[in-house]
Structure 1
Amino acid sequence: MAAASDHAETTKICSHCDRAIPSSNIDLHYAHCSRKLEKCKICGDMVPRKHAEEHYLSTHAPVTCSLCSEMMDPEILALHKGEKCPKRIVTCEYCEFPLPAVDLFEHQEVCGNRTELCQLCNRYIRLRERVAHDVTCNGVPAEIPRSIREAERGRGARRPPPPPQDFSTRRLLFTIAITGIAIFLGSLLFQRKPDAGQVN
């Protein structure tokens, strides 16, 4: 206990920087400390006065996200860019296409509704249902109920017949003749004429 009181007698706390300074040097330290150093109002670090603004700008000043231009404290910038920024690039879980996070929900709504053929059961499965289907698929093609087959057959009967294909021989010959004439005229118009100085 006596050693602790000796230590307390030999040091004093600087009123400017709150550091323990040997008693014999406290006046000199205080003169230097109060003139050259400044306490940061945010973190409490002692910073040289000439670098106080630089310290603030590099450590505490709000920063702008390079992706979305939102202002924030520098300590949360990495978290923002990695998890919260609406313009960070994420990939679609169905097609692995990279896109901004703000567009992901809408993209996956469409992309998840695309279908792929299951090689085991030979049925088309939505991509959003693919994982659950793969777990339950036993590789046996499902029997299509008779009512659905009849309904599809009925819909097929109501389809209007396709328009007739009117390709007559006469029309074909006319097209060939016009094309031939166009090629002949083009070759005459764009034919090079020899220069007067050239000898054939």
Structure 2
Amino acid sequence: MTEYKRCPSCLEQVLSTNFLLHSLYCERNIVQCELCDQRIDINEKEEHMILHQKKPCFYCHLNYEQHLLQTHQKNCSNKPLLCVYCDLMINQQEMAQHQAKCGSRTEQCTICKKHIQKKEFDIHISICQQPSPPSPKREKLKQKLCESSDDLSVQEIKPNPQQKRPQKKQIKNCAQNQKKEQKDQKQQFQKGFLDDDEDEELQKVLQQSLNQK
């Protein structure tokens, strides 16, 4: 089973087989930082002390050690942030109050022309852009219009029985007139022929034949 021992100089766990050499090295080279109590190699002490040098924060101008400065600046209360409603740069500590007021302002929707609060504007636009489903009243009216157009088309194609009667009567009268005209023409021809004939008996026979027709 592998055994470990803790080095009194660097406070690390070291294999028992290497402990003697390791401890001898640490006794001569490992020192403790006066500022952070960290055990460091004496050859790296200068580099380590640079980290303890303080620099001012770019936003609040307070001094922080370099190894803490980057973390501080990410969360500094004076760090300016962009407001999502008005595109202004507002300090992080004032952003919540600013957005509560700024988001309550209204802006007119270009689609429905209603005035919507800015904090709800994106949601409203996504809904307003979608086509609204047709209302039941509109669908019912559309159905009635379609049915009415179908009835009209049927009426246009289907012949009106009342229009047939005057057409048949007109054709019948026309045929009777033509027949009468032919008969009159025949009578005039026969009359003219009989007027020239001197045979009275022949005239009587032709007259009787004409009357029978």
- TM over 0.5, shorter chain: no
More helix as a share of residues? 2
The TM-score, its normalising length taken from structure 2, stands at 0.41
